[in-house]
């Protein structure tokens, strides 16, 4: 391990003195390089010059099997490539065995959603507290139109046309889109607006105001949804984007129209929307498993 450590220490000194890297960066490089060096030593390799591309691939595969995430392995490979470039410059190595090695990609987590019953449980309330009415109006609108949090808090009064059930929002890249608003959301917004007229800041252009009469902050929306979900006994950790995910999943499940869902969500690339097809398949697979008499193999069959 000593020869590995000498090269690592020399490289870290180069980063510290010549490149003026931050202590945080140097600490990360040290940790990543030492982890790779330990694996190389376990493979009976004496120093960095003995490490081949096959060794690097094997080390990456081994560490991935041990639970190291793809993103972390990509950072480790970057550190190893940097070390070898440094050693080659000094004439202490001839090639960079990590040059063409790619880290394995992490499995993309599917977005969390609420099922329709959970959405109804969350939103079907008839209360007279102005702030809770505002909250219900916000979350009805998010679910009704599939809004991002930033789009919700950015809505002004002029962007609403409740007579026809429509809202204009500004999404990523400053792109605007016109979206339909369902009747439950229209009713909830109208109820909120009746309270809003009597609140401080009633002349503000924002639709959704804080109790102090200012445009509501994203963080406040997050906290209010969490509180509402807890009050309704939902065991899930609810957050605003979950309503957008739920909207997309339920729309796709009912319509099967991926292009329409893409337009409603404001996705520039349909591949971003396609993740919801996996959610739809998960639902169908669950129904299949619970309903089809030959859907599940017997325990005996699984063990043979």
pLDDT in tens, 83-136: 999 999 999 989 999 998 888 886 666 778 898 999 999 998 877 889 999 999
Q: Who's near 65: CB < 8 A, 6+ residues apart?
A: none
Q: What is the side-by-side strand order in the sheet with 160-161?
A: 160-161, 166-170, 176-180
The answer to whether 114 and 243 are in contact (CB under 8 A) is yes
Mean pLDDT across 276-300 = 57
What are the tokens at 9?
């220490």
Residue 282 pLDDT > 70: no
Give the mean pLDDT of 46-73. 89
Distance CA(211)–CA(201), nearest Å, equals 9
Mean pLDDT lowest among 25-29, 30-34, 165-169, 233-237: 233-237
pLDDT band at 71 (very low <50, low <70, confident <90, very high): confident
**Catalytic residue selected from 191, 244, 245, 250:** 244
**Residue 267 a catalytic site member:** yes
For a pLDDT cut of 70, what percent of the chain falls above it?
89
Choose between 291 and 270: higher pLDDT.
270
Domains, the chain, in order of start with CATH, read: 2-89 (1.10.150.130), 116-289 (1.10.443.10)
- pTM (2 d.p.): 0.61
276 catalytically annotated: yes
Tokens of 97: 């065995």
Q: How far apart are the first and last CA of the chain?
A: 46
Question: pLDDT digits over 212-258, tens only?
Answer: 999 999 999 999 999 999 988 887 889 999 999 999 988 888 888 88
Residue 33 neighbours by CB distance under 10 Å:
23
Burial per residue of 282-300, b for 16 or more beta-carbon CB atoms within 10 angstroms, e otherwise:
ebeeeeeeeeeeeeeeeee
pLDDT at 291 over 70: no
Neighbour-count burial of 169, counting CB atoms closer than 10 A to its CB (0-12 exposed, 13-18 middle, 19+ buried): buried
Q: Positive or negative, the Cα torsion across 84, 88, 93, 98? A: positive
**Catalytic pick among 57, 81, 177, 267:** 267
The residue count for the chain: 304
Of 276, 278, 286, 296, the catalytic one is 276
Residue 166's H or E segment, with its range, is: strand 166-170
Q: Which two tokens stand for residue 19?
A: 């490149």
One of 148, 191, 196, 250 is an active-site residue; which one? 148
The catalytic position among 172, 205, 286, 297 is: 172
Using CA atoms, how far apart are residues 190 and 115, in angstroms rounded to an integer? 26
Query: Pairing state of beta strands 176-180 and 160-161?
Result: unpaired
Distance CA 247, CA 261 (A): 9
Average pLDDT over residues 182-186: 94
R_g of the chain computed on alpha carbons: 27
Q: Kindly tell me if the per-residue pLDDT of 301 is higher than 50.
A: no
Q: Which residues pair with 169 in a beta bridge?
A: 177
């Amino acid at each position: 391990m000593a020869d590995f450590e000498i090269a690592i220490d020399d490289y870290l000194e180069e980063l510290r003195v010549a490149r003026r890297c931050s202590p945080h960066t140097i600490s990360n490089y040290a940790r990543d390089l030492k982890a790779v060096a330990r694996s190389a030593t376990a493979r009976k390799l004496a120093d960095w010059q003995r490490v081949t591309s096959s060794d690097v691939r094997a080390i990456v595969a081994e560490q991935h099997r041990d639970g190291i995430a793809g993103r972390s392995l990509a950072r480790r490979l970057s550190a190893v490539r940097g070390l070898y470039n440094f050693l080659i410059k000094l004439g202490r190595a001839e090639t960079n065995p990590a040059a063409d090695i790619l880290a394995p990609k992490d499995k993309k987590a599917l977005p969390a959603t609420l099922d329709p019953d959970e959405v109804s449980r969350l939103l079907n309330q008839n209360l007279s507290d102005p702030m809770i009415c505002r909250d219900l109006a916000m979350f009805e609108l998010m679910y009704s139109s599939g809004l991002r949090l930033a789009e919700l808090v950015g809505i002004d009064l002029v962007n609403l046309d409740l007579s026809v059930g429509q809202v204009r929002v500004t999404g990523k890249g400053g792109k605007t889109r016109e979206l339909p608003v369902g009747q439950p959301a229209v009713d909830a917004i109208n109820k909120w607006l009746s309270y809003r007229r009597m609140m401080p800041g009633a002349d503000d252009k924002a639709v959704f105001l804080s109790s102090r009469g200012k445009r509501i902050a994203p963080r406040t929306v997050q906290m209010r949804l969490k509180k509402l979900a807890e009050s309704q006994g939902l065991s899930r950790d609810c957050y605003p984007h979950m309503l957008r995910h739920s909207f997309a999943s339920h729309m796709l499940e009912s319509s099967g129209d991926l292009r329409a869902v893409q337009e409603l969500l404001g996705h520039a690339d349909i591949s971003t929307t396609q993740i919801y097809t996996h959610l739809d398949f998960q639902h169908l697979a669950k129904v299949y498993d619970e309903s089809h008499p030959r859907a599940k193999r017997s325990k005996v069959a699984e063990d043979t």
